[in-house]
Amino acid sequence: MTSKREQIFDRLTTKVKTLESATVKVYRNLDKPQKITSGGIIILRDGGGEEPEVLLSPLTYIYEHLVTVEIMVQNPDPAIRDSILDALLVSIGGVINANRTLDGLAEWIEARSPDFQEESIEGAASIRTATVLIMVRFFTTDPLN
C-alpha cells in the first residue's frame, strides 16, 4: 500500500504535469537537467517538513510538508526568459487554485512567494530560475504512512 505522503506527491506531480507540452517538461526529483527545453522545465522535489502536530484522541498526525518546485528557463533574450518564467509561475498557481485539497488527499495546499536566481553560462544563454515552496497540510494516523 502506498503511503498518504507518496499519494500526495504523486497527485501533485500529476496535476503539474498537465502543464507539460512539447516545449515544457515536468519532472519529479530530477538530479540535474541535461537540457532546458525552450518552454522551460519544472522539477518537483519531495522537500521536507517540520515535526507534526499530534492529536491523541483519535491519534492523528498533522503535517505541513513543503514541496520544492524549481522552474528553469533559458533564452538569450531576457524579456522572453522573464515572460516564459512568469507564465509558468501563473500556470502553477492556477493548478494549485483549481484543487486545493488534491482531490481530498490534503486538507490544504498553497504556494509561497518565489525566490528568483539567475545563472550565467559561459558561451550560452543565462538560466533564470524560480524556486517555489508549496505547503501541503495533511492528516495521517501513522507517521510512516
Q: Are the CB atoms for 131 and 115 separated by under 8 Å?
A: yes
CATH number of the CATH domain containing 10? 3.30.2000.10
d(CA 43, CA 70): 5
Domain count of the fold of the chain: 1
Predicted TM-score (pTM) of this structure:
0.93
Question: What contacts 100, CB < 8 A, 6 or more positions away?
Answer: 106, 108, 109, 110
By residue range, what is the domain housing residue 73?
Answer: 4-140
Identify the CA nearest to 85 among candidates 131, 142, 124, 50. 131
| Residue at 145 is within a domain | no
**Burial class for 123, CB neighbours closer than 10 Å (0-12, 13-18, 19+):** exposed
Residue-level pLDDT at 97? 97
- What would the pLDDT profile of 97-144 be if each residue is shown by its tens digit? 999 999 999 999 999 999 999 988 888 889 999 999 999 999 999 888
